[in-house]
Structure 1
Amino acid sequence: MTSENFEFKLIATDGKARRGEITMPRGTVRTPAFMPVGTGGTVKAMYMDQVRDLGADIILGNTYHLMLRPSAERVAKLGGLHEFSRWQGPILTDSGGFQVMSLAQLRKLTEKGVTFRSHIDGRAYEMSPERSIEIQGLLDSDIQMQLDECVALPSTPKDIQRAMELSLRWAERCKVAFGDQPGKAMFGIVQGGDVADLRVRSAQALKAMDLKGYAVGGLAVGEPQDVMLEMLDITCPELPVEKPRYLMGVGTPDDILKSVARGIDMFDCVMPTRAGRHGLAFTRRGKVNLRNARHADDPRPLDEESPCPAARDYSRAYLHHLVKSGEALGGMLLTWNNLSYYQQLMQGIRDTIEAGRYTAFTEETQAAWTQGDIPVFA
């Protein structure tokens, strides 16, 4: 199912948990959704066909990395990011702001935007709200994010307020730059750190802009999980029921379960791909560290009932050998397994919200995780 316009509809709710669909010209996104992160036009260690076959409806591309290499203008000349990467479904691009703040060198922030030097070659760049939207347009992404300033936590209330207010002004400029694009969307980003009244002010101001979707940013940046959840409890009721809600950069399976329970519809995180490249597997029984010597003689697969061949058809002993030997196949198989697990988790979430048993599903899922070899909530 596709639509010529960007549309979101709620199919079912269970408490605050929401089951919905986003329809766009390039496809339908079933929500709650987990978006694999395709930083530089690739979901690391995966073929795009694999990503699609695992059940992902949408992936994320990174504006900062793509503007530096190979450049948004080059991607546009080559047909846009979908054609360039061979992903024909919807793509969400972030604004590049987080990476500018965390990776770039010699940053200078002003009302106009941010100037910085590339972490790759030291070349100078300027990123304004208008330029961020221009780059995302050149990439031809389906959902584009406003440029914002994301401060790490803990920070002072004064710094958090300054960044939140700047982000609101930048959101207005991004909205003007984005204009009217019926089949696409620009999302605003709620900021405010861990200060409740700033979160409310940010959400209310963005709601007044009548955007097509809303993200909650500035979380999972150093604060404990209970602080993140508290901010969601405060923020989500301020956002429009009829618009999608995206929690940026989150997270662990436990983060996802608890955030869905608070009304979040969309997630992205590098965790499943990064963990896979470092020997860590996510399974329905919990996390498994394949670097651990206990797996050297273990003939069992990660999960004999998994639909993913990486989890079902390879022994833990073999995976341990690949990881310890530094073989590229180890990271490929574990990334495949991890993204499969995340998509299975999202399907279970969607199904049980529709069935009205989301709380029971959460409890059952968390109980099963205790069978892994790494404490789930460590």
Structure 2
Amino acid sequence: MFDTNSKTILVVDDSPENLTVISELLQPQYRVRVATSGQRALQMVANQPYPDLILLDVMMPGMDGYQVFEHLRADPITCTIPVIFVTAMDSMESELHGLDVGAVDYITKPILPPIILARIRTQLELKQARDWLRDENTYLEAEIAKRMSENELIQKVSIRALAHLAEIRDPETGNHILRTQGYVQHLAVALQGHPRFSATLTDHYIELLTRSAPLHDIGKVGIPDAILQKPGKLTREEWAVMKTHAKLGSDAIEMAERDATRSVEFLILAKEIAHWHHEKWDGSGYPDALECDGIPVSARIMALADVFDALISRRVYKEPMAFDEVKTIIAEGRGRHFDPDMVDAFLADFDAFCAIAQQHLDSTVE
């Protein structure tokens, strides 16, 4: 409901007589403040309570109404206060100029009380509506941001929970998820400036890649404990079963995609990673014996991160290896197991990957 008594109007005019006339007209309905110069008006609007509307004379000595208006519009605090020019200049050109610079209305003197009261009320009601819409939009934007943040958190927790299913089956992997996620993100960022990868590795892609990385071994939930946790070397038949975890993982993610009401971007990369992170650059990997650039970028990055962490970690079938020894093995895999340019970037910043490993250290990492 529109309450006139709660509205403040600033009247700016160098004539005391005009100020008296307008003040007496407005005071029964509004809170009225007056200024006898443009400079004084700008001083007054700089402090709260800010006026809801300004009646601004054009012809004033020192600083005229147009100059005052320019200052008001240049200040973020006062730029949204509606201004009505009140002036003795009654030419069409003057009125058009006043409206053109941004005033909400233009009233010529001598003023007619019913007209000025009606126009003031109209502009105050419009301002109230604009303020309400602005506040409503601000609230809605905050609510949307809150919901998006909640959805983001739910998604991350859900991904982590799914990934931990695989860890529960293979408990000695410890903080493998956190470490490989860190390696993947760091390596992807390091490769952003490389001409082979710059078009693919956008900031958005890296965000999705990092989010999907924990799902790379989700297919292990389908591998029997006797194979997954076997302390010795796997037989040929057991190894054949173990290798099926790659397709089991991508199939599970694909089923989740089908259940979604719309496309979920990160699941595309999650499926690539799960299915192909055991492929090798020379084509000797599994499950599809892809080679070179035929292996998705996401899977190539994950392959390097996964092998590095596996080598430095204790498993039921092996002891952890020292960083220097692992560095040598990674270098030997350049152009055979791994994309050569990715190995170069990895080795160039090897200490950073060691630091990530140490940051998420558990009893399985040396």
Length-normalised TM-score, structure 2: 0.27
Structure with higher strand content:
1
Structure with higher helix content:
2
Whose radius of gyration is greater, 1 or 2?
2
